[in-house]
Amino acid sequence: MIPRPTGLRARLVITFTLVAVTASLLVATIGFELAKTALVTRAETTALDLVTRELGSITFPIGKLRPGEAAPTSRELDRVAHALSGPGRSVLVEYGHQVSSEGPLSMNDVPNELHGRAKQSVVTQRKIIDNELYLIVGAEVYRDNAGVAEATGLRAFVFFPMRDDEAQLATLRNTLTQTGVVIVLIALVVALLSARQVLLPVRRLSAAAQALGRGHLDTRLPVHGQDELAGLTARFNDAAAALELSVSELRSLEAMSRRFVADVSHELRTPLTAMTAVADMLSDEAEHLPEAPAEAVRLVLREIERLRELVEHLIEISRFDAGTATLNLEPVSVADAIEDCLKVRGWSDQVTVRASQGLTANLDTGRFDVIVANLVGNALKHGLPPVVVAARATENGLEVKVRDHGKGIPPEALPHVFDRFFKAGAGRTRSHGSGLGLAIARANVQLHGGTISVRPQNPGTLFTVWLPHV
């Protein structure tokens, strides 16, 4: 199956060429038919004039003889046949039972229809004999009898070869074919040039649109003329200007928002430090307080811890947004880094680690610690034991997997687990955590040039981190 052309250039060229081919065929066909009709008409007119003139010059008596007239002899009939003959012609003169001939053809070559019609008038018919086309003229001689035309019974059939006319038609056909080919080639060249001229502004618009897509918002196109393409170019420039203005405003608002988050986070650090110090003192006294005040102290401590975690996460996110996050790579024992991460947070007894001691990788120790801590903390908070951390070397990097055996994440929430402040399920809205942990983990993974993904398991959830060799 031939694919349909989809490009505008191809369709323009094909349409233009088809119109040219159709026009050429139409003109060539009409011209050829007119020439053919003219040649046939000329040949018939010439043949009829010749036959009529020669038959009209007969002087010997024929038909119903009058007193004193003798019937024509064979020599006289031969003389008529000889007068009608010429180069390539065959002549048959029939009178009663006598037939006088000039040439190789016989009465068997005369069509029956022509033989019958020749009794009434001078008639013509074309016939192919021995692979050659002949124009056959048949006529009967009439004699004037007191002003009345009287049939004499003498009929002549002249075979005019049309090889010269066929040769002329063949030459004309070849000439028309060659001319048509030249016209189609010229039309094809003109179509290509026209398509190029028409599509040049379209290609410029396409290139400008691609430049806009790559972020070059100052892209503009010169407007030439007053046609539809010029109008389209002008509208493109207006749209690009409006887009540049909108994006500039959005970038300004985004920068202000980032600065606001960063400033608020840093400003919260000072009172948060004081609150943490007071909370530590209250924590030591909580055991000596009555049940209700003690529960209130523990609630305050938990909320202060949540606030501290949220502030730290906001500060970390603001660094990524501002583009100031850096990567300090060094050779690290992966198993030791994971164990240290768990030990510092008191999770060693709750997590199973599967990593060989000889496994090393070039990592930013602090950021790798954040990645593992966020994934394991998420598994401990929202999953069920056992929680397993597995690390292994691959052909082109390091693969770390964290799996829990809880209820898992709802399928509709899986595409959004790395979004900021996203918490799967209504029941987790007030859960411990800022909703930024997985987003920060992904940012740190991407800073390493790696990838992070999540897949449901039966039971539980599996997070997979891949970090490339550096």
Number of CB atoms found within 10 A of residue 321's CB: 17
366-399 residues labelled b (16+ CB within 10 A) or e (exposed): ebbbbbbbbbbbbbbebbeeebbbbbebeeebbe
The pLDDT score that the predictor gives to residue 29 is 87
The first and second tokens of residue 83, run together, are 């007068």
Contacts of 101 by beta carbon, 8 Å cutoff, 6+ apart: 81, 90, 91, 92, 93
The pLDDT score that the predictor gives to residue 429 is 43
Compute the residue count for the chain: 470
Q: How far apart are CA 172 and CA 204, in angstroms?
A: 47
* Overall fold of domain 8-169: Beta-Lactamase (3.30.450)
Q: How far apart are CA 95 and CA 11, in angstroms?
A: 70
The pLDDT confidence band at residue 427, using thresholds 50, 70 and 90, is very low
Domain 8-169 and domain 217-325, same fold? Reply is: no
* Overall fold of domain 217-325: Helix Hairpins (1.10.287)
Taking alpha carbons only, the member of 376, 356, 392 closest to residue 467 is 392
Question: Is residue 431 pLDDT above 60, yes or no?
Answer: no
The pLDDT score that the predictor gives to residue 426 is 43
The first and second tokens of residue 313, run together, are 């996460």
Question: Is residue 330 pLDDT above 80, yes or no?
Answer: yes
pTM of the model: 0.46
CATH architecture classification, 327-468: 2-Layer Sandwich (3.30)
Mean pLDDT of 146-165: 85
Name the one residue in this structure whose structure tokens are 């009465």: 107
Side chain identity, residue 140 = E
Higher-confidence residue of 63 and 53: namely: 53
Question: Is residue 428 pLDDT above 50, yes or no?
Answer: no
Higher-confidence residue of 23 and 272: namely: 23
The pLDDT confidence band at residue 117, using thresholds 50, 70 and 90, is confident
**Domain limits, the chain:** 8-169, 217-325, 327-468
Question: Is residue 470 pLDDT above 70, yes or no?
Answer: no
Question: Is residue 113 pLDDT above 80, yes or no?
Answer: yes
6 close to 176: Cβ distance less than 8 angstroms: no
Higher-confidence residue of 393 and 291: namely: 393
Name the one residue in this structure whose structure tokens are 């029941």: 427
Mean pLDDT of 88-95: 90
Question: Is residue 123 pLDDT above 80, yes or no?
Answer: yes
DSSP category for residue 250: H
